[in-house]
C-alpha cells in the first residue's frame, strides 16, 4: 500500500512538471534549409525580401540586435543603417577599409572586430573585440550572395538606394559539369572559388598561400604548373593533397590563360 | 609525405603544431555548394552529411538516443555519487568510532550495487544506437578522440576491480590497518569513477565548443587540447557536485520508503536518521550548484555569445522558467523536511516563529524567479499590455531580479538548516551572546547587500556592472554559509544537548524526501536537454552540421514528454534496484522445518 | 541593579560592534569583488568607469 501511495505521489509530481511545459508557449525551432534561387525571376524586391528573411532566420541577427533595452548589440532595425554607417566611417576610431555604407556593412558582417561600436565590446577586451561572430563563417555561414541580400535589405528599409548587384550567372555556382566560359580573371576566381583557400585582393582563406604578390615569387610558368599540377611543388609551410588536382580538366584554356596572366601581374 | 601525415592523423597520434593554417570556409561559397576539395582533405574534415546519410529505423533516432543517453547519465550520476559520500561517511564512522555510520555507509553501497550494471547496460545500448543511427558522426568523433575512447573503456576494469573489492571486502577489512586498506580501495573507486566521468564529459563539451580542431573539423591539436575545451572544467565541476546532490536525494527516497513501510520503532528510527543524512548530503551539495551552473553558463557566453543567448534569451529561454519551478520545488521540499524534522526535539520550539518568515521569503522569491521576461504576444495583447513588457512585472523578469531571488532562497534554506542543527543544543560558551549577535547581523547585512547590489547595479548601471554584481551576491551568500558553519562550530563546543528522538517525525515529511529525487531527476533531464540542444542544428558546433530529420529544436511540450518518460523509467529502474537489494538480504525459510515445529 | 544596566549596556555595545564590523566587511567585499573583475567603484559604491 505504501508503494502505491509513493508511486502515485511521484507520478503526480512528474505530471505537474509536465503540465508546466504544456502550458507554456510552444515554439519549434527550424534548421536552415537549402533553397534554390531562380536567377531568371529574381527581382531586386525579391532580393530585398530574401535579405529580410535571412536577417530574421538563418543570419541569427535578431538574437542580439534588438531594440533597447533588450539588445546585446546595437539596434539595427530601428536605426537608419546608411546614416549610421556614415557616422561610423567618420569616427576617429575607425580603422577599417570600408568607404561607403555597402562596404561598411559588409565589413561589419565579415570582420566585426574591425570596428567595435562603443560600449558593445567584449567584457575585458577594452573595446577591441566584438562578441559578434563573423557572418560568413560557421555557425552562421552566410554566403556572399546572402550577405549581399542582407545589405540590400538594410539599405532599402530606410528608403536609401540599394547599391548591391543582383546575383548573376557569372557569380552563381555551376550546376552541371560543363563549364561556361568566363570573360575576366575575377570571374574565373569567383567561379572556381579560389578565395575559399587563398587570399586574393585581401579577401580569402589561409589554407593555401596568399596570392596577392604571387607574381613576385613565381614565374608565369610556375603559376601555371601550380594550378594544373598543384602537388608538384608545395609552398613552404603548406601541405600537399589539399588543392584540387582537376583544374586542368575543369578550366578552359582561355580561363587558365586569363588567370595566369592576372596572377603574374600581382607584384609587390 | 601527404599520406604519412594522413595516417598520423587517423591514428590520433600527436599532431602538435601542425599547419594551423588549414582554415578555410567563407569566401565565395553559395549555400549548399560543397567545397571543391580533394578526397584526402574530405577524409580529415568533418563530414558534410545529407539527409540520406542518416539511417532510418522507423522511429525518431533522436528520441531513441535521448532515452538511452539520459538513462545512462542518470545511473552514471548515481553510481559515481554514492561511493563519494559513502567514503566520507565511512571515514566519519572510523574516526568517531560510531558503528552506525559504518553500517549506514555499507547499506548505501548495498542498495546501489545493481546500479552499476544498469549503467553499463544503458551505456552499451547507447553505444550501439549511436553507431547504428549516426554512423558518420560517430566515425568522426572516433577519429577525433582516437585512443582516448579505448582508455575510457579500459578504466572500467579499474572501476569494477575497486568496486567489488570495496563492497565484498567490507566486513573482511573492518578494523585497524585493514580498515585503512578498505578506505583506500574506496578512494580508488572514486578516482576511477571521476576519471571515467571527465573522459566522457569531454565528448559532450567538444560537441558544444570544439577545441583542437580547425574550422572544417580537421584535427590540429593533441588529445589534451581536444579535451580541454572552454566548457570541460565547468561541466566537470557542475556534474561532480550535482551528482552528489542527486545521489543523496535518491538514497533519501529509499530511506523514506523504508521508514513509511516499517512498524518497528527501532527500524523507523534508523531510517529516519538515514533519511536525514541523505537530505543533509543532498542540500549541502545543492547549495553551491547554482554557482557551478553560473560558471558553465558564463563560459558558454564567453565562447559564443550566440550560443549563450540561444540558451537564455532565445528559443530555449522558457526552459529556465521550468527550471525555476523545479528548483523551487526542491528548495521548498528540502526546507519543509527540515522544519518537520525540528519536531524531533523540543529545543526547536524557540525557533518555530521564524519558519513562517522563511516560508514567506521562499515563496515570494520563487514567484519572482518564475516571472518570465520576454513573452510572445500578439498585436492586440501588446496593445492591452501597453508595450512589449508589463510595466510592473517586466523588470522582475530579468536577471538581476532573479539573482536576488535565488540568493535569498539559498540564504533562507541555509537558515532553516542552521536552525535545525541548533535545535537540540544550548550554547554554554561565555561569548554566546556576542556570537549570536554576529550571526544575526551577518544574515541581515548579507541579505541587504544582495538586494542593494542586485537592484542598484542591476537596474541603474550598465551591463558589465550588472553582470559583475552577481558575483558579489554569490560571495555574500557564501559568506553567510561559511560563517554560519564556522561560528556554530565554535559556539556549540561543549554545548548542552537536548533530547532528540529519531523516528519521531511525521509521515508527511517523508514525502518531501520523495519529492526531492523526482524533482532532481526531472531537472537533470531538463538541463541535459538544454545542454544538448543549445548547439541547435549542429552535431559539433560550427564544425559538423546536423542534417538529420530531427535537426530542429522541438517544442517545449515535446521535451517535457520525453523528460517525463525518462524520469518515470528511471524511477522504475531505481525501484527495481532497491528491490534487488532487499531480495539479496531476504532468506526463505525452509518449509520442511516449519511443519516439524507445528507437529510438536 | 547596576549589573543589569551594565549587562544591557554591554549587549548594546556588542550589537553596535557587530553591525559596524559586518557592514565594513561587506563594504570591503563589494569593492574587492567588483575590483577583481575590472569594475572599480567609487567610495559611494557608484561605478568608477
CATH of residue A205: 1.10.760.10
Q: Is C22 on the interface with B (CB under 8 A)?
A: yes
d(CA B236, CA B292): 9
d(CA A268, CA A254): 26
Contact between chains at C30 and B437 (C-beta distance less than 8 A): no
Write out pLDDT tens, residues C3-26: 677 778 888 999 999 999 999 999
Backbone phi, psi, residue B539, to 5°: -75, -50
Q: Would A206 be classed as within a structural domain? A: yes
Of B457, B105, B476, A72, give the one whose Cα is nearest residue C47: B457
pLDDT at A169: 66
For chain B, list residues with pLDDT below 50.
1-33, 35
pLDDT at B382: 67
HSE on the CB side for A20, CA within 13 Å?
21
Q: Cβ atoms within 10 A of the Cβ of B171, count?
A: 8
Q: Is C26 on the interface with B (CB under 8 A)?
A: yes
Write out pLDDT tens, residues B462-503: 777 888 888 899 899 999 999 999 999 999 999 998 888 898
Closest-CA residue in chain B for C24?
A: B445
* Residues of chain C found within 8 Å of residue B472, distances taken between Cβ atoms: 29-30, 33-34
Question: Which of B472, B479, B486 to substitute to test the interface with C, most C CBs within 10 Å?
Answer: B472
User: By residue range, what is the domain housing residue A198?
Assistant: 185-264
Q: Is A72 on the interface with B (CB under 8 A)?
A: yes
Q: Helices H, strands E: what count in chain A? A: 10, 2
Whether omega for the bond prior to residue A140 falls within 30 degrees of 0, making it cis, is no
Nearest-CA distance B129 → chain A (Å): 23
H/E stretch holding A107: helix A101-110
Distances from the Cα of A204 to the Cαs of A110, A193, B29, in angstroms?
A: 11, 10, 11
Of A198, A73, A58, give the one whose Cα is nearest residue A139: A58
Q: Is C8 on the interface with B (CB under 8 A)?
A: no
Chains in touch with A (≥3 Cβ pairs < 8 A): B
Contact between chains at A18 and B561 (C-beta distance less than 8 A): yes
Buried b (16+ CB within 10 A) or exposed e, A216-239: eebeeeebbebbeebeeebeeebb
* Residues of chain B found within 8 Å of residue A205, distances taken between Cβ atoms: 23-27
Contact between chains at C15 and B437 (C-beta distance less than 8 A): yes
Domain boundaries, chain C: 1-49
Q: Is the same domain home to A136 and A217?
A: no
* Residues of chain C found within 8 Å of residue B434, distances taken between Cβ atoms: 14, 18
Q: Would A140 be classed as within a structural domain? A: yes
Contact between chains at C14 and B434 (C-beta distance less than 8 A): yes
Residues 6+ apart with CB under 8 A from B18: B5, B220
Q: Is the same domain home to A95 and A193?
A: no
pLDDT at B28: 35
**Residue B541 near residue A139 (C-beta atoms within 8 A):** yes
pLDDT at B374: 61
CATH of residue A57: 1.10.760
Of B177, B123, B185, B182, give the one whose Cα is nearest residue B160: B185
* Residues of chain A found within 8 Å of residue B38, distances taken between Cβ atoms: 241-245
If one counts the domains in chain A, the total is 2
Contact between chains at B555 and A192 (C-beta distance less than 8 A): no
Q: Is B95 on the interface with A (CB under 8 A)?
A: no
Residues 6+ apart with CB under 8 A from A69: none
Q: Is C15 on the interface with B (CB under 8 A)?
A: yes
Of B248, B118, B140, B238, give the one whose Cα is nearest residue B530: B238
Contact between chains at B522 and A11 (C-beta distance less than 8 A): no
* Residues of chain B found within 8 Å of residue A136, distances taken between Cβ atoms: 26-27
| Residue at grid coordinates 540599394 | A162
Contact between chains at B465 and C47 (C-beta distance less than 8 A): yes
Q: Would A34 be classed as within a structural domain? A: no
Q: Would A112 be classed as within a structural domain? A: yes
Nearest to B464 among C15, C19, C39 (CB): C39
* Residues of chain B found within 8 Å of residue A60, distances taken between Cβ atoms: 306
pLDDT at B396: 67
Q: Is B287 on the interface with C (CB under 8 A)?
A: no
Q: Is the same domain home to A189 and A145?
A: no
Distances from the Cα of B295 to the Cαs of A25, A122, B307, B483, B595, in angstroms?
A: 28, 17, 15, 23, 67
Q: Is the same domain home to A78 and A149?
A: yes
Q: Is B469 on the interface with C (CB under 8 A)?
A: yes
pLDDT at B21: 28
3-state secondary structure chain C: CHHHHHHHHHHHHHHHHHHHHHHHHHHHHHHHHHHHCCCCECCCCCECC
Q: Is the same domain home to A126 and A48?
A: yes
3-state secondary structure B470-534: HHHHHHHHHHHHHHHHHHHHHHCCCCEECCECCCCCCHHHHHHHHHHHHHHHHHHHHHHHHHHHC
Contact between chains at B465 and C34 (C-beta distance less than 8 A): yes
Question: Chain B, 553-592: which have a CB under 8 Å from a chain A CB?
Answer: 553-557, 559-561, 563-564, 567-568, 571
pLDDT at B179: 96
Question: Which of A29, A53, A176 to substitute to test the interface with B, most B CBs within 10 Å?
Answer: A29
d(CA B13, CA A157): 54
> pTM of the full predicted structure?
0.80
How do the pLDDT tens digits run along chain A, 268 residues long?
888 999 999 999 999 999 999 988 888 888 877 777 777 888 888 889 989 988 988 888 888 888 776 677 888 888 899 999 998 988 888 888 888 889 999 999 999 888 888 878 776 677 778 888 899 888 888 888 889 999 999 999 988 888 888 887 666 553 333 444 557 788 888 778 787 778 888 777 777 888 888 888 888 888 888 898 888 888 888 877 778 777 888 888 888 888 888 888 888 7
Amino acid at each position: 500500500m505504501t508503494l502505491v501511495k509513493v508511486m502515485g505521489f511521484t507520478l503526480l509530481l512528474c505530471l505537474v512538471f509536465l503540465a508546466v511545459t504544456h502550458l507554456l508557449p510552444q515554439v519549434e525551432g527550424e534548421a536552415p534549409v537549402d533553397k534554390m534561387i531562380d536567377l531568371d525571376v529574381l527581382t531586386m524586391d525579391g532580393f530585398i525580401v530574401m535579405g529580410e528573411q535571412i536577417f530574421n532566420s538563418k543570419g541569427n541577427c535578431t538574437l542580439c540586435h534588438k531594440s533597447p533595452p533588450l539588445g546585446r548589440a546595437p539596434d539595427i532595425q530601428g536605426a537608419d543603417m546608411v546614416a549610421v554607417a556614415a557616422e561610423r566611417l567618420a569616427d576617429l576610431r575607425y580603422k577599417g577599409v570600408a568607404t561607403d555604407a555597402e562596404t561598411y556593412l559588409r565589413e561589419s558582417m565579415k570582420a566585426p572586430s574591425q570596428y567595435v561600436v562603443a560600449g558593445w565590446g567584449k567584457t575585458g577586451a577594452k573595446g577591441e573585440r566584438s562578441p559578434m561572430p563573423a557572418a560568413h563563417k560557421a555557425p552562421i555561414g552566410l554566403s556572399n550572395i546572402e550577405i549581399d541580400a542582407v545589405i540590400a535589405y538594410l539599405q532599402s528599409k530606410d528608403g536609401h538606394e540599394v547599391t548591391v548587384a543582383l546575383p548573376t550567372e557569372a557569380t552563381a555556382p555551376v550546376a552541371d559539369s560543363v563549364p561556361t566560359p568566363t570573360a575576366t580573371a575575377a570571374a574565373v576566381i569567383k567561379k572556381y572559388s579560389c578565395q575559399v583557400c587563398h587570399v586574393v585582393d585581401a579577401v580569402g582563406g589561409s589554407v593555401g598561400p596568399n596570392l596577392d604578390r604571387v607574381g613576385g615569387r613565381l614565374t608565369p610558368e610556375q603559376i601555371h604548373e601550380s594550378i594544373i599540377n598543384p602537388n608538384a611543388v608545395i609552398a613552404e609551410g603548406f601541405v600537399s593533397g589539399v588543392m584540387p588536382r582537376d583544374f586542368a580538366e575543369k578550366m578552359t584554356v582561355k580561363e587558365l590563360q586569363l588567370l595566369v596572366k592576372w596572377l603574374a601581374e600581382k607584384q609587390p | 609525405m601527404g599520406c604519412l601525415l594522413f595516417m598520423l592523423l587517423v591514428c590520433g597520434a600527436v599532431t602538435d603544431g601542425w599547419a594551423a593554417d588549414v582554415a578555410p570556409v567563407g569566401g565565395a561559397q553559395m549555400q549548399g555548394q560543397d567545397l571543391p576539395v580533394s578526397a584526402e582533405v574530405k577524409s580529415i574534415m568533418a563530414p558534410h552529411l545529407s539527409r540520406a546519410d542518416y539511417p532510418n529505423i522507423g522511429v525518431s533516432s533522436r528520441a531513441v538516443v535521448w532515452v538511452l543517453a539520459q538513462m545512462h547519465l542518470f545511473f552514471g550520476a548515481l553510481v559515481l555519487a554514492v561511493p563519494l559520500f559513502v567514503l566520507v561517511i565511512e571515514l566519519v564512522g572510523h574516526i568517531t568510532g560510531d558503528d552506525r555510520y559504518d553500517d549506514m555507509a555499507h547499506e548505501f553501497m548495498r542498495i546501489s550495487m545493481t546500479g552499476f550494471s544498469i549503467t553499463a547496460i544503458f551505456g552499451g545500448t547507447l553505444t550501439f544506437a549511436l553507431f547504428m543511427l549516426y554512423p558518420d558522426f560517430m566515425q568522426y568523433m572516433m577519429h577525433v578522440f582516437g585512443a582516448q575512447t579505448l582508455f575510457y573503456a579500459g578504466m572500467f576494469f579499474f572501476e569494477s576491480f575497486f568496486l567489488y573489492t570495496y563492497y565484498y571486502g567490507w566486513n573482511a577489512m573492518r578494523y585497524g590497518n585493514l580498515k585503512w586498506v578498505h578506505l583506500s580501495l574506496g578512494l580508488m573507486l572514486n578516482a576511477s569513477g571521476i576519471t571515467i566521468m571527465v573522459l566522457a564529459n569531454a565528448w559532450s563539451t567538444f560537441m558544444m565548443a570544439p577545441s583542437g580542431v580547425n574550422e572544417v573539423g580537421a584535427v590540429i591539436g593533441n588529445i589534451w587540447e581536444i579535451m580541454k575545451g572552454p566548457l570541460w572544467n565547468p561541466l566537470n565541476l557542475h556534474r561532480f557536485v550535482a551528482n552528489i546532490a542527486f545521489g543523496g536525494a535518491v538514497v533519501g527516497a529509499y530511506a523514506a520508503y523504508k521508514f513509511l513501510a516499517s512498524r518497528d520503532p527501532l527500524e523507523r528510527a534508523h531510517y529516519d536518521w538515514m533519511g536525514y543524512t541523505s537530505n543533509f548530503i543532498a542540500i549541502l551539495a545543492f547549495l553551491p550548484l547554482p554557482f557551478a551552473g553560473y560558471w558553465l553558463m558564463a563560459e558558454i557566453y564567453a565562447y559564443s555569445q550566440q550560443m549563450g543567448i540561444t540558451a537564455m534569451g532565445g528559443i530555449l529561454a522558457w526552459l529556465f522558467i521550468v527550471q525555476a519551478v523545479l528548483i523551487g520545488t526542491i528548495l521548498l521540499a528540502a526546507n519543509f523536511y527540515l522544519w518537520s524534522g525540528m519536531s524531533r526535539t523540543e529545543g526547536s520550539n524557540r525557533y518555530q516563529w521564524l519558519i513562517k518568515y522563511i516560508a514567506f521569503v521562499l515563496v515570494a522569491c520563487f514567484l519572482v524567479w518564475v516571472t518570465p521576461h520576454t513573452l510572445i504576444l500578439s498585436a492586440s495583447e501588446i496593445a492591452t499590455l501597453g508595450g512589449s513588457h508589463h510595466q510592473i512585472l517586466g523588470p522582475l523578469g530579468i536577471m538581476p531580479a532573479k539573482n536576488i531571488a535565488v540568493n535569498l532562497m539559498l540564504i533562507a534554506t541555509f537558515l532553516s538548516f542552521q536552525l535545525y542543527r541548533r535545535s537540540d543544543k544550548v550554547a554554554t560558551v561565555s561569548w554566546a551572546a556576542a556570537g549570536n549577535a554576529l550571526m544575526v547581523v551577518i544574515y541581515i547585512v548579507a541579505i541587504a547587500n544582495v538586494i542593494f547590489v542586485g537592484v542598484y547595479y542591476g537596474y541603474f548601471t550598465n551591463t558589465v556592472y550588472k553582470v559583475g554584481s552577481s558575483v558579489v551576491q554569490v560571495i555574500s551568500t557564501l559568506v553567510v554559509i561559511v560563517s554560519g558553519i564556522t561560528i556554530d562550530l565554535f559556539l556549540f563546543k561543549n554545548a548542552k544537548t537536548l533530547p532528540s528522538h529519531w523516528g519521531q517525525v511525521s509521515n508527511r515529511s517523508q514525502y518531501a524526501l520523495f519529492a526531492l529525487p523526482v524533482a532532481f531527476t526531472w531537472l537533470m533531464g531538463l538541463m541535459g536537454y538544454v545542454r544538448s540542444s543549445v548547439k541547435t542544428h549542429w552535431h559539433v558546433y560550427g564544425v559538423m552540421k546536423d542534417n538529420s530529420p530531427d535537426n530542429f529544436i522541438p517544442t517545449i511540450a515535446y521535451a517535457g514528454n520525453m523528460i517525463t518518460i525518462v524520469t518515470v523509467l528511471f524511477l522504475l529502474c531505481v525501484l527495481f534496484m532497491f528491490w534487488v537489494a532487499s531480495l539479496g538480504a531476504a532468506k526463505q525459510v525452509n518449509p520442511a522445518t516449519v511443519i516439524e515445529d507445528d507437529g510438536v | 541593579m547596576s549589573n543589569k544596566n551594565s549587562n544591557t549596556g554591554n549587549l548594546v555595545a556588542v550589537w553596535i560592534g557587530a553591525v559596524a564590523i559586518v557592514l565594513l566587511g561587506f563594504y570591503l567585499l563589494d569593492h574587492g569583488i567588483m575590483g577583481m573583475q575590472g569594475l572599480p567603484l567609487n567610495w559611494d559604491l557608484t561605478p568608477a568607469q
